[in-house]
Structure 1
């Protein structure tokens, strides 16, 4: 080190010459006397609670503290001969600098054990960061000397810590705690490891499950020369699930993460919404050990896929116990399982039980299913459960007594629809031009866009668009009719296939026969039927079709329908069902109308399994029949104990399908529905959502409504999610209720990006509201409307795309709710941000990437997020660990509360 006299003194020798008898007494004076014990009453024991110059137990004055620092410099100068090499004013300034840096000990939030683990070099750097202005004005020589003095002092400080009577007990406690946490994690992994005797079969079973469910049958992909199934890895589309908690805006989460932090979930979704596909995805991900970071909570579990319609196939049969699971679902390798294997898996809490389709079993059997679930959970309480159902099949809180969380599969967003359409066309080999054409048509035609709300309807639309070379039917019933025609009349012809039995059955005859099977299933509340029952029904129907009866028998006709129609499938060797419940309901409704079974329809209208059948019957019926059926529904509703609530709303949902109807009947239906407006609960809001766009005409503005009525009216309009709802929602933009404002901005992704931004987002008072952006188009629109102080990035797009938002208006609060790259380059546009909240979707954060944000003051992170580089953050940036919310708070979307500051 150069001096003012041209000589050199190696700073490294300072630590050698400042022996313990010179430095230790001075360092000891900086700390107050402590008692014996492990200091566990207030933990962690912060360094700030040990120092003698800060806090209520202050024993050193500033003058005393400065004299200690000066003595440290004086002894260093004496021991190293620096008195002759540095002027007195430089030594005085150096004493003040050392005092300022050591004073930062009182600001460190680490404890003595952490400091010792850090080491004296890193502790010195931490003190330098806490006192960046301490060396201002010093020469280069003095700055270097200050650094070496501080390192030497830190070496003695750490030595002092290790000599404290409480240090060893505290260290043992810390190490014991760390060992206990590690042991717990290892125990969890071990608990998910099979016994050695079970390992060979379990490995074989997991491989079997991963292979069995690895393909997805997607409607329309078996036409022309495309494959009949889709690899699940490329086909799976991550949808969203929403919470159902009363009194809050619905919170959204990736559907595959519904079991994250929850052991038991009842998931509701409409027909075709992707419930069964989600179960396939969870089964394959778990069986194939492909859980990744987002599904680590399922790692090591053994999946059991249990379709209820298969378990209850034999009417009155006892539901299976664990040892019968594989046999009942037709698992090919069931006979190989070791005795008691499934019982052991469940007893050890290693099972993932995926129970599919409460709505697909008769209503009178559902209580038996609930009792079966309860018994299984009492006997095997430590497993994960996912149960699925249509929304109206079971009442709210049906499994609340068993601590189930109830969630809904949300409708597909425009982004979901676009992703699905593009993937479908890639799988079908149809080309990107056709996909773009369909997406443009969906944006132009509101009716078409409204139909594309779930994977089944999207697949129908894609297949018909391709098959008809761009022409698409207008309504839902036209869509189903066209799909049936495509499957029944053109499927084999387009693929150049001739049936092996050389039997040709016309489209009309196939529909007549399939109607018989569908209506039998509906009347008997079944989703499957035995092979022998199907053949018997066809045998009775054939005499009415003499042309077909002369050429074939019922068994041959059955095989033809199963193999060639594209509408039937065989879930087992002895059973048959429709490829989707929607087609069963469509054909069954057609049969009911043709047989004039209107009394049967009205008599069963209160049952959830008949709701879609009723709607489709209205569409199939002739005008006079339609009026009679709707009038009967209204009359039965009037006579019911619940002022006809459910039946009146069911009648209202039918108006969409009533293309021609007596105006008087139409008016009566609307009047009954209007009596239930505005909705006053989530149940009523969900019922109105099922009514569809017709309900929008009945929804009022906010004038004269209570806050609850206003909230549930907005909930209804956002749930219908057609652009016709935007003018309704725009009326509520100026409300001061935070739930309504939050619901309005969170629903943006369900509507046209540009129009919703102009009519709703731009009008909502921002206050302390976070505005979500899920894709760059929303960023651009939000920037065009002045930006917002608080934004939440809810889509996994690059953060650099947010630059227009930052330039349009200062973003002061940023919430990151989706996986994205967090590096300094990506964050650089957020120069004015004060607070960043990082959600649990981001598993690992390098805090050093945030160091260059000049305005950042606090980082809020989830306790599940791993942190790196905590020692690289400037002093002014606080890291606060958010407390884990309770299940109720998590499912209502309440904000996380920050815990005390963490360094």
Structure 2
């Protein structure tokens, strides 16, 4: 449930909303007028819920504008809608972009959208459960293309006003039907709360800041732009030898894709779904587009209407989220770019350099809140916010400035790394964040987390929209590699003449070699691969374990001897040992930060046991050596220290846990989100007998439910990383998990892909499977990023099942573009299948294959690129599953003479669709 962007006081709007509902009780068998059409007739036939279904009254029978003698005529409904538009425009102020000439058109579209309430078979219970945002989306999707005549600004205003109208409509339903509040107490309470917040915002005045506030605000924004306009670029030495390996954010920022969390994902229980460590994006959905669940031929139903079914959530650019949604929870694996996105939003907003599609953020005051810095103390009060951020201007802020910014609704809260708080304080953090947002509504808020750290719907009751960062596509990897080498050409390295060679080698190798392709799915790993490739003159290590090991060795000696500002105090080996101690201490403490005193005490406790550390060295000098002579630590303004990335902390902590023989501790916490990667790395470094102890420990009895399943699946996923393991232990793992890899639930089938290539050994011969089982197996195998998976899937390519062929097409982006296209796609019967394209290589390859009648766009393209890449005469069905930018202007579709159908998710807005092309939402 989201708080509406267009706010109207209930005293103004609810008298109008009340007119939408009939004053008389519903009649048992109302007759239908000619004008109401077949859809209304279907609603009447289903006036009562099916036996055994959830109780509720059909809203179509409660409205005032249906029936033989409606209380509210069509003309009156249009006038009512236009009155709502007038109030909505008045509430947005003089800066609104909707012109006077658009008011009547928006009112007509709103009336047509509201009229759908009387045409759908939705009950009041179902509507309240959906909430205003999803109920508005359902209404809008029932009339696709109705707003095609509106300008972009008018269309967005209509959507915001529709959500507000739905909020008050649902509230009126609850007020008139007390049983709804009894049946759905939490939802009803939340809707009432949103109405109250809406009323406050509708009447709140936004006074101009005082001269003192304005002067400080300017200084604060300048410091934010300076403070966060740096990112770590591994392997690049900057001209200043005292500086860390950082680079301008402007030069290196890569806009990544993200996927909405769908209602189906929320219903599946959430936390289990999130444990794949990847996102299978809109092109995956459940492998069953709306066409595929119809009659079996994969076409529309033949009657001219769209076949009902599940439509996967679209992909969007992650950095656009806050321009559309007031509150966003962004999930992403370690290194996927969450913190970089937070920094980019802060810098772009503070410096006023936002792109045109993010102008809605203009004038916001960004507050970056790394959770690791206040996890134990809780979210700070407004007066303590700058101090908790360790902002250098905290002592100079006018008293009460932060509270005034929050009260004016101008703040943008960027809460980074909620997963870095210990599990036992998450509920407290949520309560504190909820209270802050309820007191100071209207402020934008982005919260980031690792995928499996917090439960599904952790913040959904507070109106947060969930997004998950998608793995980098082939095109994004190539873009990152190019940007990295462009940055490297400006450093002080002496190998600039070979950078073109290094870049070309990676651009050729990553798509081909499985080890590189699997690792290069997020900016952190991509950066490490680039740095190591340069550091080793084009000779890369193989596998995750070797990559981390090589990266640590490189970062421990990142400064060239001729550039040092003081003599090396420590050799590489003692540096690494001390860093392991610090990382292990953080792991045990459940923290990502050590205060200065604790770090010094930890060094003092262990330095004496390492013979190669001179006895006369002060702990402070050792600490400075670790900080300045390695690329692994960074110090905050208050002297506390943290690792540059959680992945490196986990790696070093795992090495230390194995060295200390702390297998009991590892097993005790293995199923916890913050320990899983540590456990995998520990298994990779353990000796054979220790490895067996760890894996057998995961299988011991005593664990139940989800924790037991997680431990067993973790054991299976670790098999990919072991260096040596006795056959008995391997057999035990197989025996414990063999039945877990063949569930009937499609969602669980997808999750199994995170086990890696080992899962292929547990699956049956594809030739022995019927089509329904083959489809379920394909859901798993298309998520195993290994060349062996292509061999398995190629044996399913001749099947006739539409949903199986669709899943095989959807798997393309996870494998080498050329090989998968030749061994799988070329042989698929294309009837009814939408072929997805996510980058330019896939678009070019699909054209080489002769094009296809049905194409799904799952990447960021410009219209001219699609015009050049798609076969114009062949294309008949186009599916837009990616937010292609503001406006989504579709006039260019005129160039496709055979195009009959445009499929667009209801979350996306298209304009300018040529006449004759049917829009399916």
Task: Report the TM-score, using the length of structure 2 for normalisation.
Answer: 0.67
Whether the aligned pair in 1 keeps the contact of 2:877 and 2:901 (CA below 8 Å) is no
- Once the two structures are superposed, the pairs formed by residues 444-455 of structure 1 within 5 Å of their partners are 444-455=512-523
Q: Does 1:484 align with 2:552?
A: yes
**Post-superposition CA distance 1:467-502 (Å, at most 9, x none):** 1111111121111111121122x322x3523352x3
Whether the aligned pair in 1 keeps the contact of 2:860 and 2:884 (CA below 8 Å) is no
Distance in structure 2 (CA, Å) of the matches to 1:758 and 1:671:
36
Distance in structure 2 (CA, Å) of the matches to 1:207 and 1:386:
21
- Once the two structures are superposed, the pairs formed by residues 40-189 of structure 1 within 5 Å of their partners are 40-41=75-76
Distance in structure 2 (CA, Å) of the matches to 1:199 and 1:769:
57
Distance in structure 2 (CA, Å) of the matches to 1:589 and 1:193:
54
Larger radius of gyration: 1
| Structure 1 residues 390 and 846: CA distance shift in structure 2, 3 A | closer
Select 2:395's aligned residue among 335, 349, 357: 335
- Once the two structures are superposed, the pairs formed by residues 36-435 of structure 1 within 5 Å of their partners are 40-41=75-76, 194-197=208-211, 198-222=213-237, 228-245=245-262, 246=264, 248-249=285-286, 251=313, 252-312=315-375, 315=376, 317-429=377-489, 430=496, 431-435=499-503
Whether the aligned pair in 2 keeps the contact of 1:224 and 1:491 (CA below 8 Å) is no
- Once the two structures are superposed, the pairs formed by residues 448-527 of structure 1 within 5 Å of their partners are 448-488=516-556, 490-492=557-559, 494=560, 496-500=562-566, 502-527=567-592
**Post-superposition CA distance 1:149-171 (Å, at most 9, x none):** xxxxxxxxxxxxxxxxxxxxxxx
Aligned length: 684
Whether the aligned pair in 1 keeps the contact of 2:753 and 2:759 (CA below 8 Å) is yes
Select 1:604's aligned residue among 644, 666, 669: 669
Distance in structure 1 (CA, Å) of the matches to 2:205 and 2:789:
51
Aligned-partner SS, 2:366: strand
**Post-superposition CA distance 1:22-41 (Å, at most 9, x none):** xxxxxxxxxxxxxxx99934
Distance in structure 1 (CA, Å) of the matches to 2:893 and 2:688:
67
Q: Which residue of 1 aligns with 2:506?
A: 438
- Name whichever of 469-478 and 283-292 sits farther off: 283-292
Aligned-partner SS, 1:608: coil
- Name whichever of 262-271 and 698-707 sits farther off: 698-707
Aligned-partner SS, 1:427: helix
Deviation at residue 519 of structure 1 after TM alignment: 0.8
Whether the aligned pair in 1 keeps the contact of 2:471 and 2:521 (CA below 8 Å) is yes
**Post-superposition CA distance 1:420-465 (Å, at most 9, x none):** 1111111112422210112323344321221112111111111111
Distance in structure 1 (CA, Å) of the matches to 2:734 and 2:406:
52
Distance in structure 2 (CA, Å) of the matches to 1:365 and 1:516:
25
Whether the aligned pair in 2 keeps the contact of 1:840 and 1:865 (CA below 8 Å) is no
| Structure 1 residues 759 and 574: CA distance shift in structure 2, 3 A | same
- Name whichever of 529-538 and 736-745 sits farther off: 736-745
Distance in structure 1 (CA, Å) of the matches to 2:827 and 2:748:
27
Q: Which residue of 2 aligns with 1:5?
A: none
Deviation at residue 784 of structure 1 after TM alignment: 3.5
Distance in structure 1 (CA, Å) of the matches to 2:327 and 2:464:
5
Q: Does 1:841 align with 2:901?
A: no
Whether the aligned pair in 2 keeps the contact of 1:766 and 1:788 (CA below 8 Å) is yes
Q: Which residue of 2 aligns with 1:560?
A: 625
Deviation at residue 673 of structure 1 after TM alignment: 2.2
Aligned-partner SS, 1:419: helix
CA RMSD of aligned residues (A): 3.9
Aligned-partner SS, 1:242: strand
Aligned-partner SS, 1:408: strand
- Name whichever of 197-206 and 303-312 sits farther off: 197-206
Distance in structure 1 (CA, Å) of the matches to 2:477 and 2:370:
27
| Structure 1 residues 730 and 349: CA distance shift in structure 2, 3 A | farther
Q: Which residue of 2 aligns with 1:51?
A: none
Distance in structure 2 (CA, Å) of the matches to 1:694 and 1:864:
38
Distance in structure 2 (CA, Å) of the matches to 1:543 and 1:855:
78
Gaps in structure 2 of 5+ consecutive residues: 1-71, 81-100, 106-153, 165-200, 266-284, 287-311, 490-495
Select 2:871's aligned residue among 783, 800, 806: 806
Distance in structure 2 (CA, Å) of the matches to 1:42 and 1:326:
50
Aligned-partner SS, 1:391: coil
Distance in structure 2 (CA, Å) of the matches to 1:300 and 1:860:
36
Whether the aligned pair in 2 keeps the contact of 1:678 and 1:700 (CA below 8 Å) is no
Distance in structure 1 (CA, Å) of the matches to 2:488 and 2:102:
62
| Structure 1 residues 843 and 477: CA distance shift in structure 2, 3 A | same
Aligned-partner SS, 1:635: coil
Aligned-partner SS, 2:725: coil
Q: Which residue of 2 aligns with 1:787?
A: 851
Deviation at residue 572 of structure 1 after TM alignment: 2.8
| Structure 1 residues 763 and 43: CA distance shift in structure 2, 3 A | farther
Whether the aligned pair in 1 keeps the contact of 2:876 and 2:900 (CA below 8 Å) is no
Q: Which residue of 2 aligns with 1:23?
A: none
| Structure 1 residues 237 and 603: CA distance shift in structure 2, 3 A | same
Select 1:762's aligned residue among 826, 831, 836: 826
| Structure 1 residues 673 and 593: CA distance shift in structure 2, 3 A | same
Whether the aligned pair in 2 keeps the contact of 1:210 and 1:284 (CA below 8 Å) is yes
**Post-superposition CA distance 1:813-855 (Å, at most 9, x none):** 345666xxxxxxxxxxxxxxxxxxxx662527495x7778766
Aligned-partner SS, 1:644: helix
Aligned-partner SS, 2:537: coil
Aligned-partner SS, 2:634: strand
Distance in structure 1 (CA, Å) of the matches to 2:653 and 2:825:
44
**Post-superposition CA distance 1:314-347 (Å, at most 9, x none):** x4x2431223211111111223333333223323
Q: Does 1:644 align with 2:712?
A: no
Whether the aligned pair in 2 keeps the contact of 1:293 and 1:843 (CA below 8 Å) is no
Distance in structure 2 (CA, Å) of the matches to 1:710 and 1:347:
56
Q: Which residue of 2 aligns with 1:543?
A: 608
Aligned-partner SS, 1:371: helix
Q: Which residue of 1 aligns with 2:722?
A: 658
Deviation at residue 281 of structure 1 after TM alignment: 1.5
**Post-superposition CA distance 1:845-888 (Å, at most 9, x none):** 495x77787667788999997968x9xx8xxx3588x7xxxxxx
Deviation at residue 295 of structure 1 after TM alignment: 2.0
**Post-superposition CA distance 1:572-620 (Å, at most 9, x none):** 3220011111221121111111111111111121221111111111122
| Structure 1 residues 223 and 742: CA distance shift in structure 2, 3 A | farther
Q: Which residue of 1 aligns with 2:697?
A: 632
| Structure 1 residues 374 and 795: CA distance shift in structure 2, 3 A | closer
Distance in structure 1 (CA, Å) of the matches to 2:768 and 2:408:
57
| Structure 1 residues 758 and 859: CA distance shift in structure 2, 3 A | closer
Aligned-partner SS, 1:491: coil
Q: Which residue of 2 aligns with 1:582?
A: 647
| Structure 1 residues 693 and 351: CA distance shift in structure 2, 3 A | farther
Whether the aligned pair in 2 keeps the contact of 1:859 and 1:878 (CA below 8 Å) is no
**Post-superposition CA distance 1:357-378 (Å, at most 9, x none):** 1221211111211111221222
Deviation at residue 703 of structure 1 after TM alignment: 8.1
| Structure 1 residues 799 and 384: CA distance shift in structure 2, 3 A | same
Distance in structure 1 (CA, Å) of the matches to 2:467 and 2:725:
37
Deviation at residue 415 of structure 1 after TM alignment: 1.2
Whether the aligned pair in 2 keeps the contact of 1:569 and 1:578 (CA below 8 Å) is yes
Whether the aligned pair in 2 keeps the contact of 1:192 and 1:350 (CA below 8 Å) is no
- Name whichever of 752-761 and 521-530 sits farther off: 752-761
| Structure 1 residues 767 and 262: CA distance shift in structure 2, 3 A | farther
